[in-house]
Amino acid sequence: MLYSTVREFFPLYKAPRGTSDILPDEQGYWRYVEEKAALLCQLYGYQRITTPVFEDLRLFSRTVAEGTDIVDKEMYIFQDRSGQKLALSPEGTAPICRAYLEHGLYNLPQPVRLYYIASAFRYERPQAGRQRQHHQFGFEALGDADPALDAEVIEMANQFFLSLGLSGFSIQINSIGCRTCRPNYIEALKQHYSPHVASLCPDCQVRFTRNPLRLLDCKKPSCQKLAKTAPKSIDYLCNDCRTHFESVQKYLTALGLSFQVKHRLVRGLDYYTRTVFEIESQREGAQSALGGGGRYDDLMEQLGGDSTPSVGFAAGIERMVRSLKAQEVNIPALPKSDVFVAYRGDEAKLEAMKLALRLRRSQIAVMEATGNRSLKGQMRQANTSGANHTIIIGKTEVENQTVILRDMKSGEQKSVPSAEVEAALEGVNTA
Ligand code: HAM
């Protein structure tokens, strides 16, 4: 007795830190986001792909890359019983590129447009909008270098947030060049930072040698001061990258999108080339990035494939749900049961079970009472179920082959022949 009381107050198990249960109350938001995502992708010609929750560890260490926080500090890594090193996917792009190469999707007309809704795992310090397991909706256009495709992906991301009913977000873009021009830029960055290395935060001191581009992304005030005066990547672009970035901006403008060029935007994954972009909520405080993406023209080669220029985007579903709530966007209610079936006595229970089965086969959603609760208890359950009608079967109804049909709003009740329940429900639903 004492043990069970203690357990009630201190459950033995809790969801691991940084993860959360999505309870039925929340599911309306998730269904809304997922339906809008599917509709958007259909409109833009993107098809769904699902990849495994875990992958070969090297897939991420080669692409997202060592020297990034995600690979160095945040991956969930484990060895399976055969000794293979695996990682829970921290993001969706590298797995999709792996699938593209593995299944020869390069044989299809290019670009191949794919989308996904998947879990992502990162061992981060949990806070509002930052979890260790989060969910992403993302889309990728693989196998085409046209800057019009960058514009398509950015516009599509913008359209997605609009279709959710969200407002107050902004689009930031930048170009971080390619393998030809970026080394010159990295060199200029290092020159800018080198007299000040001792004053950098410990993380940035490591970044200075391992991943200088990430210096621009540090949120610490002392490092931000240096980032503000740092050289800009767009001043170091080669001719091809400059033309590409100008075209992206020209197309975005032609599509009527407003955006800002943010010189310090570099993104937290290493596979990007040329265009990078982020969509930020101006209303949320910390963790305001609703989504981000960019071009990754070299990623397929890093995985052993041919050159396959590609571009994509992903947004965090938890952050969208947070914004939908904060902005009080009206979400359609999830469908409830049409009918609750209550009974009194064993014979009536059998009839109730058979009737419920029959109604469900006619596409009528039925919730059934169970156990030997009093009729009063069953009616309470009927009320909370949200069903519009309750069917009550007692001894008299079994004998007469009828049911009592109760309208839950008006409280009106009538006796209906059991064989005519579907018609009676149809009548009230269409009246
Ligand atoms: P990312 O910026 O790392 O990009 O993640 C995409 C989005 O996922 C973020 O903008 C944010 O909304 C959400 N997110 C990231 N980490 C967390 C977290 N710990 N908790 C809650 N939400 C989070 C990528 O993952 C790239 N694969 C995007 C991409 C697709 N680039 C090209 N194609």
Tell me how far CA of residue 76 lies from CA of 13, 56, 371, in angstroms.
20, 12, 44
Q: Using 50, 70 and 90 to split pLDDT, how confident is the model at 4?
A: low
Residue with the smallest CA separation from ligand 1 atom 23 is 316
Which two three-digit tokens encode residue 323?
Answer: 């914004």
Kindly give the number of the ligand 1 atom that is closest to the alpha carbon of 267: 2
Distance in Å, CA 21 to ligand 1 centroid: 20
Q: How large is the average pLDDT for residues 374-385? A: 95
pLDDT at position 39 is: 98
Q: Is 100 exposed, middle or buried (0-12, 13-18, 19+ CB in 10 A)?
A: buried
pLDDT at position 3 is: 52
Binding-site residues, ligand 1, Cβ < 6 A: 91-93, 122, 124, 129-131, 134, 136, 138, 140, 268-269, 289-294, 312-316, 318-319
pLDDT at position 431 is: 47
Kindly give the number of the ligand 1 atom that is closest to the alpha carbon of 70: 3
pTM, to two decimals: 0.93
Which residue spans within 262-357 are E strands per DSSP?
Answer: 273-281, 289-295, 310-316, 339-343
Is 3.40.1400.10 the CATH number for 339-423?
no
Distance in Å, CA 221 to ligand 1 centroid: 24
Task: List, for residues 143-201, the tens digit of each pLDDT value.
Answer: 999 999 999 999 999 999 999 999 999 999 999 999 999 999 999 999 999 999 999 99
Domain with CATH 3.30.930.10 in the chain: 19-181+237-326
Residue with the smallest CA separation from ligand 1 atom 2 is 292
d(CA 286, CA 103): 40
d(CA 387, CA 132): 37
Q: Calculate the average pLDDT of the chain.
A: 94
- For 395-429, letters b (16+ CB in 10 Å) and e give eebbeeebbbbbebeeeeeeebebeebeebbeeee
**So what's the architecture of 19-181+237-326 in CATH?**
2-Layer Sandwich (3.30)
Distance in Å, CA 333 to ligand 1 centroid: 28
Q: Is the pLDDT of residue 213 over 60?
A: yes
SS3 366: strand
d(CA 223, CA 427): 70
pLDDT at position 67 is: 78
Domain with CATH 3.40.50.800 in the chain: 339-423
> E strand or H helix at 402, and its extent?
strand 402-407
d(CA 287, CA 326): 14
Least confident of 86-95, 293-302, 342-351, 422-431: 422-431
Q: How large is the average pLDDT for residues 373-397? A: 96
The edge-to-edge listing of strands for the beta sheet with 54-56 is 54-56, 85-88, 77-79
Distance in Å, CA 328 to ligand 1 centroid: 24
Q: Is the pLDDT of residue 429 over 70?
A: no
CA angle in degrees (0–180, nearest 5) for 107-108-110: 110
pLDDT at position 153 is: 98
Task: List, for residues 214-265, the tens digit of each pLDDT value.
Answer: 999 888 888 988 999 999 999 999 999 999 999 999 999 999 999 999 999 9
